[in-house]
């Protein structure tokens, strides 16, 4: 049994070093840096782009929030890509004031394909824009979003992720789980890396890309289910860090049903696996060749989910093997299991509560969510385990049926701040 002990020790050191690294990086989010100086002073011209598939119930609210930006209305246009729609998304978007492009191609259904189809046309037109901002149809956008992204452009940033907040964080344990997850990631992953000079990641929606980059790439060239992560990794491979803005806020609606949430997070996990297959070796080679922490950190990101999950499973299983055949006591077995279960299921809730304190978010409305957060994260571990053996790559739409306006979100924020 010596070889099992040696393997366990090696795996323990691997996972310990990995998480110590993550903790040290996260601490950098506690440092408040001076704001970057402006390199230019200019009001840039933007495209707000919304890929939408059968989103007639929510698309109008997003367009309305974009029309009400605190920014020169002549310097941005709102485009909706009605992607394989069978409802009234196109009509509702036009009536709300958007410019609508209708796309019909059942062979290519992902957002990445829709974006590339649209951007190819804008490149051929040599459209007079400085940058694009991407949103999901269920979003509503803070009135200062475009102004905040314009400031980032003036500071010399060319790809910037905005702050993705949640429309409905207190609906139930599922939506509160999403909220706590995103709030923790925003502070301890994205902001921490931005402060340190490393790279945050694009987060699906509410981000800005300089149009010149789109032209250089000849469109939006992604092939995985997680086009946001893939695009981020492509930039990191080129030695380009992404930017981060806590002032550019977009509110996202999260699914309230467990089946929809399971499907969505399964798709994210499969997309991450696709990115692992496509980019792990490339990032390892870049880290070895360039010897920069940017490439090393990108490599650690791509191996930080599924591989570390597999290591944890192996370590847990080894305890039962040693208990069964090599004389490990019952108390030692229990303590070794708790050694992994406590950090996995208890620390995330404590971390999320700490983030809420740091960011000034009222904790009282989220108390139930904090207690059920381990259930949300535990279900994600089950999703990861399932995806090791069964990977659905078919895109499934998350239905958004609630009509939540930006004024309602602002009123909710004011109410919870009074608590």
Evaluated on CA atoms 245, 246, 248, 253, the torsion sign reads positive
- pLDDT, greater one: 68 or 322: 68
Determine which helix (DSSP H) or strand (DSSP E) holds 209, and give its type and residue range.
strand 207-210
Q: What is the pLDDT of residues 374-401, one digit of tens each?
A: 999 999 999 999 999 987 766 555 666 5
Cβ-proximal residues to 256 (8 Å cutoff; 6+ apart), any chain: 168, 171, 172, 174, 175
Ramachandran bin of 204, using left for φ above 0, alpha for ψ from -120 to 50, beta for the remaining angles: left
Q: Per residue in 131-155, pLDDT tens?
A: 999 999 999 999 999 999 999 999 9
Mean pLDDT of the chain: 90
Rounded Cα distance between 352 and 336, Å, is 25
pLDDT band at residue 275, thresholds of 50, 70 and 90? very high
DSSP string, 27-83: GGGG--PPPPPPS------EEEEEEESS-TTTHHHHHHHHHT-SS-GGGEEEEEEEE
pLDDT beyond 60 at 413 = no
Average pLDDT (324-353) is 83
**pLDDT band for position 408 (cuts 50, 70, 90):** low
Q: State the average pLDDT over residues 155-161.
A: 97
Which pLDDT does position 17 carry in this prediction? 92
- In this prediction, residue 320 carries a pLDDT of 81
Q: Residue 324 burial by CB count (10 A; 0-12/13-18/19+): exposed, middle or buried?
A: exposed
Encode burial over 201-222: b for 16+ CB neighbours within 10 A, e otherwise. Answer: bbbbbbbbbbbeebeebebbeb
- Section 35-43 average pLDDT: 93
Which backbone phi and psi does 273 adopt, to 5 degrees? -65, -40
Residue 419 has pLDDT above 60, yes or no: no
Class of 33-279 per CATH?
alpha beta
Instruction: Provide the b/e sequence for 117-147 (b: ≥16 CB within 10 Å).
Output: bbbeebeeeebebbbbbbbbbbbbbbebbbb
H or E segment to which residue 418 belongs: helix 406-418
pLDDT exceeds cutoff 70 at 157: yes
Contact call for residues 139 and 62 (beta carbons, < 8 A): yes
Nearest CA-CA partner of 58 in 159, 219, 268, 205:
205
Between CA 97 and CA 103, with CA 102 as vertex, the angle to 5 degrees is 150
Strand ordering across the sheet containing 243-252: 99-103, 76-83, 46-52, 131-134, 207-210, 159-166, 243-252, 140-141
The angle subtended at Cα 379 by Cα 373 and Cα 382, nearest 5°, is: 150
**Do the beta carbons of residue 81 and residue 111 sit within 8 Å?**
no
Element (DSSP H or E) covering residue 101: strand 99-103
Residue 324 pLDDT grade (very low, low, confident, very high; cuts 50, 70, 90):
confident
Residue 405 predicted with pLDDT over 70: no
Average pLDDT rounded to a whole number, residues 148-176: 96
């Amino acid at each position: 049994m010596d070889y099992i002990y040696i393997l366990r020790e090696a795996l323990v050191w691997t996972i310990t070093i990995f998480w110590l690294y993550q903790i040290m990086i996260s601490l950098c989010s506690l440092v408040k840096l001076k704001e970057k100086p402006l390199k230019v002073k200019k009001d840039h011209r933007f495209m707000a782009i919304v890929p939408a598939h059968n989103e007639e119930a929510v698309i109008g609210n997003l367009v309305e929030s974009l029309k009400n930006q605190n920014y020169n209305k002549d310097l941005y246009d709102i485009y909706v890509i009605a992607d394989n729609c069978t409802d009234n998304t196109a009509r509702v978007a036009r009536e709300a004031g958007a410019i609508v492009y209708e796309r019909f191609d059942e062979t290519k259904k992902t957002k990445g394909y829709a974006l590339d189809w649209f951007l190819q046309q804008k490149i051929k037109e040599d459209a007079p824009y400085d940058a694009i901002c991407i949103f999901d149809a269920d979003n509503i956008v803070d009135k200062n979003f475009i102004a905040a992204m314009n400031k980032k452009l003036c500071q010399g940033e060319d790809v910037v992720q905005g702050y993705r907040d949640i429309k409905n964080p207190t609906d139930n344990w599922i939506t509160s789980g999403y909220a706590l997850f995103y709030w923790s990631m925003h502070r301890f992953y994205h902001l921490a890396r931005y402060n340190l000079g490393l790279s945050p990641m694009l987060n699906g929606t509410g981000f800005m890309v300089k149009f010149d980059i789109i032209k250089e790439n000849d469109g939006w060239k992604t092939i995985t289910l997680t086009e946001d992560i893939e695009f981020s990794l492509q930039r990191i491979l080129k030695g380009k860090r992404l930017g981060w803005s806590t002032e550019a806020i977009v509110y996202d609606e999260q699914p309230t049903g467990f089946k929809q949430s399971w499907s969505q997070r399964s798709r994210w996990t499969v997309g991450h696996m696709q990115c692992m297959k496509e980019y792990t070796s490339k990032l390892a080679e870049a880290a070895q060749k360039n010897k920069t922490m940017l490439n090393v950190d990108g490599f650690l990101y791509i191996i930080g989910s599924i591989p570390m999950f597999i290591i944890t499973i192996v370590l847990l299983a080894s305890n039962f093997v040693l208990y069964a055949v090599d004389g490990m006591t019952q108390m030692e077995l229990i303590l070794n299991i708790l050694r992994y279960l406590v950090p996995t299921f208890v620390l995330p809730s404590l971390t999320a509560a700490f983030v809420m304190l740091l960011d000034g978010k009222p904790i009282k409305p989220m108390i139930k969510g904090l207690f059920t957060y381990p259930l949300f994260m535990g279900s994600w571990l089950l999703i990861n385990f399932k995806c090791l053996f069964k990977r659905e790559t078919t895109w499934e739409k998350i239905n958004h049926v609630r009509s939540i306006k930006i004024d309602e979100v602002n009123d909710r924020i004011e109410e919870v701040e009074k608590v």
